[in-house]
Amino acid sequence: MAKLTNIFNNRRSWAAPYALFLVLFVVLPLIMIVFYAFHDASGTFTVHNFTKFFTTNTDLNRFIYSIGIAIITTLICILLGYPAAYIMASAEFNTPKVMAILFILPMWVNFLLRTIATAELFSMLGMPLREGALLFGMVYDFLPFMIYPIYNTIQKLDNSYLEAARDLGATPLQVFTKVTLPLSMPGIYSGIVMVFMPTVSTFAISEILTENNIHLFGTTIQESINSGTMLNYGAALSLIMLVIIGITSLIGNNDNSESREGGLL
Amino acid sequence: MKIIEVKHVSKQFEDGKFALNDVSLSIEKGEFVTILGPSGCGKTTLLRCIAGFQVATSGDILLNGMDVTEMPPNKRPVNTVFQKYALFPHLNVFDNVAFGLKLKKIDKNIIEQKVKAALKTVGLSDYEFRNVDSLSGGQQQRVAIARAIINEPEVLLLDEPLAALDLKMRKDMQLELKEMHKKLGITFLYVTHDQEEALTLSDRVVVMNEGRIQQIGTPTDIYNEPQNCFVADFIGESNILSATMIRDRRVAFCDAEFDCVDEGFGENAPVDVVIRPEDIYIWENTKTSIAKQQADYDPDDRVPKGNFTKWYGTVQSSIFKGVHYEMTVLTDNNYEFLVQDYHEFKPGTSVGMLVKPEDIQIMRKERYIFNNFEGEVLKNGKVRFLDAEWEINPDDIAQFEAGDIVNVKVPFKEIDLQDHEEDGVLSGEVHYILFKGNHYALTIRTDEGHDIYVYTTDVWDDGDRVGILIPKESIHIEKRQS
């Protein structure tokens, strides 16, 4: 009995269920991915899976294409999201809270539902389900993830910085370029991480919005694993993608630590 | 030459309250002027109107003879040092200081020289490439000053720049600011709520309260010759008493008559007097049991000889303040005086006091005996004023008809304040307290925003909620002169 109370009193033991969860569903799968990636179907160690990827043109091209789509999506999200966040956060525009909620509202709906609805919308309007539809769907799905962190940073921006810049002779435009924009970079970095990472690995959106005409890297991974025979190859591709995502999030985090109060991350 | 002229400037906020109420002020080139007042008195609003962050509702602001009332801040030849410094966190010290010059697209080498010179002025050489977050409060303050003075503004505006620093640092920075002002030769307009800071730094002090200027003068003028009770009470310690100016150079208070040096108030005019605690001479007064006469005991011969009015009392409390003792003395006729002296007189000691005529400062009374309100006689025999209905003596009301507009007079000392606001006809808040020797003069602000003056011997605190009652025999109404 005494032992049991000891366990409850020891705060560290409270983390045990979570630690177990992490080991089972995060650490173990990661180890398995690494293990499978460096072995062939018969279980012998090999780097063939990686050399195969870098020598198979279709897969390599798909990978580059996916990165390209992700970059374009992220850029469009920044271009659309920043002004939206700025207008919502700036006191001078006096935007009602409803506006902010409307921008965030799509996040409340499951993205698969949204994507299917988008596909329906396109076919209803008689528009082709191709690259354009894909980009539209991606931007539509991920825009709130860009707006929210930027909105957060701009809203927290101390008005005295803007006044100080005006006081030192800056025009309203110069205040924006020299103070507001640089100070909202942490929000933009958070937004990039939140949009870029999932868009690289997405496959459902491209499947639904292009009727499987456009294959993204996520699709390649999914197909390899589903095929049953190429499990090891799929694992290698996943690892490559993880590394890419890891690098982008590292870039984001570095900049975040420098200028506090990032946003979502 | 006048560098800043503020002409009848008012600033009204959306809720109708005046942050500035008809403020006029002119500042000479090269002056160090301090705007001093309690929080919410409008001093920061005035500074922001001059800087351009707020636009006056009415009135004009001239800088160097040029009307800038509605000019955006970036076009004005002034720079501001902000209360919380507002250093740009994404730029290092050099880039912060160079911010203004870079906007002007000045040659890089010149910028570098000027930044170095500015940092040297504020004593921060070799800090160019430090991150601003890594600096202490005092250092950040210096960077903020360097960032402002590098633009060579006509006027440097400082908004409570030392408020965030600890006492020791604040004292050092005060001296440095004064040095800097001398060296740079530009006009400093400084906002603070710290009266000592204002007296130490300034050539002239502007005392503000409730959106109005109370007095403008040199620190000595402000301290020695306050023009009203607010200034006397806000600047330093003081004894403020209601008095009567009997004739020129003769004033009565505390049931005695005193010589003074002021003239021109008329005969038997109600006035207020201010006596600074350090201006009162105090000595031990041993009463001999036989003669029951006052025997003044002054072994050190400190008390001035001459034909001065003396008054007597008993020491109530004594606190050591470092250099002097601060004592409260209750006179035999129940007036309380604050006295400072290098000698201690223990509580219970009988003492005599005197003050030299030139140390008695006379001020015109702003209000006298009665609150005056405008009222309307109602059908139900009541009178409506202060946004409430009041019962009144039937005899008084008889000579008026419903709908008559009347003057209502209520004596200060007959207003009854209740602890529980629901017990009053009106409720309000204690807005200002002034101790006047044997009673408190309170300003009560009603919830509808009217001010009522009350004399009471009860002790209240600033901000206390009160219920207000006025006995019907204390309400006097008279016909309004049209």
Q: Has residue B433 got a pLDDT over 60?
A: yes
SS3 B341: strand
Instruction: Give residue B298's pLDDT band: very low, low, confident or very high (50, 70, 90).
Output: low
Residue B287 pLDDT = 61
Q: Which two tokens stand for residue B482?
A: 């049209």
In the predicted model, what is the mean pLDDT of residues B226-250?
92
**Beta-carbon contacts of residue A195 (< 8 Å; ≥ 6 apart):** A73, A74, A77, A142, A145, A146
What ipTM does the predicted assembly reach?
Answer: 0.80
Same-domain pairing of B414 and B356: no
Closest CA to B155 of B71, B59, B76: B76
Chain B residues close to A179, C-beta within 8 Å = 88
Q: Mean pLDDT for chain B?
A: 90
Residue B466 pLDDT = 92
Which of B78, B82, B90 minimises the CB distance to A160? B82
CB atoms within 10 A of CB B46: 28
B270 within 8 A of B365, measured Cβ to Cβ: yes
| B44 touches A: beta carbon within 8 Å | no
Same-domain pairing of B26 and B145: yes
Q: Has residue A264 got a pLDDT over 60?
A: no
Same-domain pairing of B32 and B108: yes
Chain B residues close to A169, C-beta within 8 Å = 74, 100, 103-104, 151
Q: Has residue A142 got a pLDDT over 60?
A: yes
In the predicted model, what is the mean pLDDT of residues A33-52?
87
Residue B63 pLDDT = 93
Number of structural domains (chain B) is 3
Domain that holds residue B382: 370-479
Out of A102-116, B143-157, B255-269, least confident range: A102-116
Q: Has residue B125 got a pLDDT over 50?
A: yes
Q: Has residue B124 got a pLDDT over 70?
A: yes
- Backbone angle region of A33, left / alpha / beta, with phi > 0 → left and psi within -120 to 50 → alpha: alpha
Same-domain pairing of B95 and B52: yes
Say if the Cβ atoms of A166 and B99 lie within 8 Å: no
SS3 A214: coil
Alpha carbons A209 and A132: distance in angstroms, whole number: 9
In chain A, % helix, strand, coil (3-state, to 5) comes to: 80, 0, 20
In chain B, % helix, strand, coil (3-state, to 5) comes to: 25, 40, 40
Nearest 10 degrees: Cα torsion B111, B113, B116, B122? -90
Alpha carbons B372 and B366: distance in angstroms, whole number: 13
A44 within 8 A of A174, measured Cβ to Cβ: no
Q: Which two tokens stand for residue B479?
A: 């016909």
Residue B60 pLDDT = 94
Residue B326 pLDDT = 95
CB atoms within 10 A of CB B70: 10
| B51 touches A: beta carbon within 8 Å | yes
Same-domain pairing of B282 and B327: yes
Instruction: Give residue A150's pLDDT band: very low, low, confident or very high (50, 70, 90).
Output: very high
In the predicted model, what is the mean pLDDT of residues B155-159?
95
Residue A257 pLDDT = 43
What CATH number is attached to the domain comprising B305?
2.40.50.100
Which residue intervals of B134-213 are DSSP H helices?
A: 137-149, 167-184, 195-201
Q: Has residue A260 got a pLDDT over 80?
A: no
Q: Which two tokens stand for residue A96?
A: 């009602």
Say if the Cβ atoms of B100 and A169 lie within 8 Å: yes
In the predicted model, what is the mean pLDDT of residues A79-105?
79
* pLDDT tens by residue, A167-183: 999 999 999 999 999 99
Residue A44 pLDDT = 85
Site of tokens 């969860």? A21
Instruction: Give residue B290's pLDDT band: very low, low, confident or very high (50, 70, 90).
Output: very low
What CATH number is attached to the domain comprising B380?
2.40.50.140
* pLDDT tens by residue, B31-42: 999 999 998 899
Same-domain pairing of B31 and B103: yes
Q: Mean pLDDT for chain A?
A: 84
Q: Has residue B264 got a pLDDT over 60?
A: yes
* pLDDT tens by residue, A223-255: 888 887 788 888 898 898 888 888 877 775 655
In the predicted model, what is the mean pLDDT of residues A18-27?
91
Closest CA to A139 of A181, A89, A202, A186: A202
Residue B286 pLDDT = 72
Instruction: Give residue B299's pLDDT band: very low, low, confident or very high (50, 70, 90).
Output: low
* Domain end (from B329, B364, B399): B364
CA-angle at B234, arms to B196 and B328, nearest 5°: 95
Q: Has residue A258 got a pLDDT over 50?
A: no
Say if the Cβ atoms of A160 and B89 lie within 8 Å: no
In the predicted model, what is the mean pLDDT of residues B201-211?
94
Say if the Cβ atoms of A164 and B84 lie within 8 Å: no
* Domain end (from B207, B230, B253): B230
CB atoms within 10 A of CB A212: 12
Same-domain pairing of B402 and B457: yes
Same-domain pairing of B265 and B148: no
Chain A residues close to B80, C-beta within 8 Å = 163-164, 167
- Backbone angle region of B268, left / alpha / beta, with phi > 0 → left and psi within -120 to 50 → alpha: left
**Beta-carbon contacts of residue B475 (< 8 Å; ≥ 6 apart):** B383, B390, B392, B393, B396, B408, B409, B410
Q: Has residue A9 got a pLDDT over 80?
A: no
Same-domain pairing of B301 and B358: yes
CB atoms within 10 A of CB B284: 17
Same-domain pairing of B205 and B94: yes
Alpha carbons B448 and A90: distance in angstroms, whole number: 34
Say if the Cβ atoms of B53 and A163 lie within 8 Å: yes
Same-domain pairing of B271 and B378: no
Alpha carbons A11 and B159: distance in angstroms, whole number: 49
Specify the pTM.
0.80
Instruction: Give residue A95's pLDDT band: very low, low, confident or very high (50, 70, 90).
Output: low
* pLDDT tens by residue, B87-117: 999 999 999 999 999 999 889 999 999 999 9
Alpha carbons B95 and B129: distance in angstroms, whole number: 8
Residue A241 pLDDT = 87
- b/e for B446-470, b at 16 or more Cβ within 10 A? beeebebbbbbeeebeeebebbbeb
- b/e for B401-431, b at 16 or more Cβ within 10 A? eeebebbbbbbbebbbbeeebeebebbbebb
Any idea where the domains of chain A sit in the sequence?
50-258
Instruction: Compute the nearest-CA separation of A261 from chain B (Å).
Output: 12
> What secondary structure does DSSP assign to B439-470, as a single string?
SEEEEEEETTS-EEEEEESS---TT-EEEEE-
In the predicted model, what is the mean pLDDT of residues A102-119?
82
> What secondary structure does DSSP assign to A159-203, as a single string?
HHHHHHHHHTT--HHHHIIIIIHHHTHHHHHHHHHHHHHHHHH--
Same-domain pairing of B108 and B224: yes
**Beta-carbon contacts of residue B314 (< 8 Å; ≥ 6 apart):** B329, B330, B332, B348, B349, B350, B351
In the predicted model, what is the mean pLDDT of residues B46-68?
93
- b/e for B366-395, b at 16 or more Cβ within 10 A? eeeeebebebbbbeeebbbbbebbbebeee
* Domain end (from B327, B342, B364): B364
Residue B291 pLDDT = 43
What CATH number is attached to the domain comprising B169?
3.40.50.300
CATH superfamily of the A50-258 domain: MetI-like (1.10.3720.10)
Residue A263 pLDDT = 42
